């Protein structure tokens, strides 16, 4: 069985590693050069994209920002999972918001901005504390602006004046005073069957995910029901096949959808050691028609991203239940270089492992680690 992944980064690499034991051969498409490559070595393979599509049993994506002509070509094969509508919604916040509104899935109050003059209307409608998000190509904190007071509006309008908002609109969202950020990953197969991973709690710094803890502490049954209900509505709408992530703001006892990611997701990396079946294996199972695997957590887990540095000590591998996953990238500011997974029988054990891990890391690059360890140390 053969799978072709659009995108040749770390997610394609981890899908490939999960697919090999299943007897699935994975190749990847460098969407910039349009070469077919080995997802591990990145070596250009001696095959055309057309031939790779024809030879593959399933096509999928590692990220949603694939050029639309490539997506349309993939979709026309009848082998693209998830389908093009889900991928395009994940790539465009306007489409994403329209789907959420159509399904009556709760999300942040918002307006679509196609001209900077509409920001005055946004303040009148949503209040003066806003977060503005580019509708396309924004991720990891890029393509976002925060308005904390209407006194900042003039300078913000000046900053945004150079953008073509008629081509790439902004989403102006009411800044939500949320309690925390959660994400739900699940898989759906072509028969409409679901498996769900436990909710993960996510900690961000400067717009990037730094730490995920799963299962998220202090999750109520109501939160699980809300998250899974929203997920099912979205997945059924798209006739989704594969793994999807839905990110939420928790505001009291209510969940608001923040983003949809139609793919395997950074906040699910903990599943590589912490779940019975990793998100990468379940994605491969779903898109190739294999039975879905159990998504239950085996342990308490923490995933720590390695961002913009490589001067940590690999002696961290001496820590019990510590697993290092490197992506083979050159160092660049804010670039995800790899991640570390920790597993334990309790949150207190995870906290202890995090504290030990800190001794091996340049802590300026891991600003959330010890604060989260302190919080977890008080839990069972």
Among 279, 313, 74, smallest CA distance to 188 is for 279
Let me know whether 158 and 253 are in one domain. no
Q: How far apart are alpha carbons 317 and 325 in whole angstroms?
A: 11
pLDDT computed for residue 163 by the predictor: 86
Among 89, 71, 96, 91, smallest CA distance to 81 is for 71
Last residue of a domain, one of 174, 197, 223: 174
- By DSSP bridging, strand 180-188 and strand 200-205 are antiparallel
Q: Decide: 28 and 17 in contact? Cβ < 8 Å.
A: no
Query: By percentage, how much of the chain surpasses pLDDT 90?
Result: 85
Q: How far apart are alpha carbons 162 and 305 in whole angstroms?
A: 34
> pLDDT tens digit string along 333-365?
999 999 999 999 999 999 999 999 999 999 999
Q: Decide: 358 and 293 in contact? Cβ < 8 Å.
A: no
- How buried is residue 60: exposed, middle or buried, by Cβ count under 10 Å (0-12/13-18/19+)? buried
pLDDT band (50, 70, 90) for residue 155: confident
Note whether residue 188 is domain-resident: yes
Return the higher-pLDDT residue of 135 and 7.
7
320: CATH: 3.30.470.20
Mean pLDDT of the chain: 95
Let me know whether 185 and 169 are in one domain. no
Q: Helix (H) and strand (E) counts for the chain?
A: 12, 17
pLDDT computed for residue 136 by the predictor: 86
Any idea what DSSP says for residue 274? H
Let me know whether 352 and 330 are in one domain. yes
Structurally, the chain folds into a number of domains equal to 3
Let me know whether 352 and 208 are in one domain. yes
pLDDT computed for residue 140 by the predictor: 59
CB atoms within 10 A of CB 316: 17
Q: b/e per residue, 190-221, with b = 16+ CB within 10 A?
A: eeeebbbbbbbbbbeeeebbbbbbbbbbebee
Residue appearing with tokens 């697993």: 323
Last residue of a domain, one of 174, 194, 215: 174
Beta bridge partners of 319: none
Q: Decide: 258 and 247 in contact? Cβ < 8 Å.
A: yes
pLDDT computed for residue 88 by the predictor: 96
Q: Decide: 289 and 187 in contact? Cβ < 8 Å.
A: no
Tokens of 151: 């006194």
Task: For residue 129, give every residue at least 6 positions away whose Cβ sits within 8 Å of its Cβ, in sequence order, or none.
Answer: 147, 148, 149, 174, 175
Let me know whether 150 and 261 are in one domain. no
Q: How far apart are alpha carbons 105 and 257 in whole angstroms?
A: 7
Let me know whether 215 and 154 are in one domain. no
38: CATH: 3.40.50
Query: Domain span at residue 247?
Result: 180-376
Predicted TM-score (pTM) of the model is 0.95
> pLDDT tens digit string along 304-315?
999 999 999 999
Let me know whether 307 and 230 are in one domain. yes
Q: What are phi and psi of 300, to 5 degrees?
A: -80, 140
CA dihedral sign, ordered 238, 242, 248, 253: positive
Tokens of 299: 């342990």
């Amino acid at each position: 069985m053969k799978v072709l992944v659009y995108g040749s980064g770390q997610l394609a690499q981890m899908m490939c590693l999960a697919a090999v034991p299943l007897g699935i051969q994975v190749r990847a498409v460098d969407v910039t050069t349009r070469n077919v490559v080995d997802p591990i070595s990145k070596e250009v393979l001696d095959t055309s994209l057309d031939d790779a599509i024809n030879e593959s049993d399933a096509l999928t994506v590692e990220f949603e920002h694939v050029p639309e002509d490539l997506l349309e070509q993939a979709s026309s094969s009848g082998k693209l999972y998830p389908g093009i509508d889900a991928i395009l919604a994940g790539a465009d916040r306007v489409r994403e918001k329209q789907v959420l509104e159509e399904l009556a899935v709760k999300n942040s109050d918002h307006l679509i901005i196609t001209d900077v003059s509409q920001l005055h209307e946004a303040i009148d409608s949503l209040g003066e504390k806003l977060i503005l998000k580019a509708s396309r190509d924004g991720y990891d904190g890029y393509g976002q602006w925060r308005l904390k007071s209407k006194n900042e509006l003039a300078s913000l309008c000046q900053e945004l004046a150079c953008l073509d908002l008629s081509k790439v609109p902004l989403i102006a969202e009411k800044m939500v005073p949320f309690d925390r950020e959660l994400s739900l990953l699940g898989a759906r197969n072509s028969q409409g069957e679901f498996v769900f991973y436990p909710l993960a709690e996510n900690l961000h710094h400067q717009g990037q995910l730094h730490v995920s803890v799963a299962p998220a502490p202090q999750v109520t049954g109501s939160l699980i029901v809300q998250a899974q209900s929203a997920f099912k509505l979205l997945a059924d709408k798209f006739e989704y096949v594969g793994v999807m992530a839905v990110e939420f703001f928790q505001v009291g006892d209510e969940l608001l959808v923040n983003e949809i990611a139609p793919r395997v997701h950074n906040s699910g990396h903990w599943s590589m050691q912490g779940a019975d079946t990793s998100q990468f294996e379940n994605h491969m199972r779903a898109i190739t028609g294999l039975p879905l695997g159990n998504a239950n957590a085996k342990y308490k887990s923490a995933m720590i991203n390695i961002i913009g540095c490589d001067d940590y000590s690999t002696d961290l591998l001496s820590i019990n239940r510590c697993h290092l996953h490197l992506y083979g990238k050159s160092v660049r500011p804010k670039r995800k270089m790899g991640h570390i997974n920790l597993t334990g029988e309790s949150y207190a054990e995870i906290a202890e492992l995090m504290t030990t891990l800190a001794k091996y890391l340049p802590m300026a690059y891991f600003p959330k680690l010890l604060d989260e360890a302190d919080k977890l140390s008080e839990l069972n």
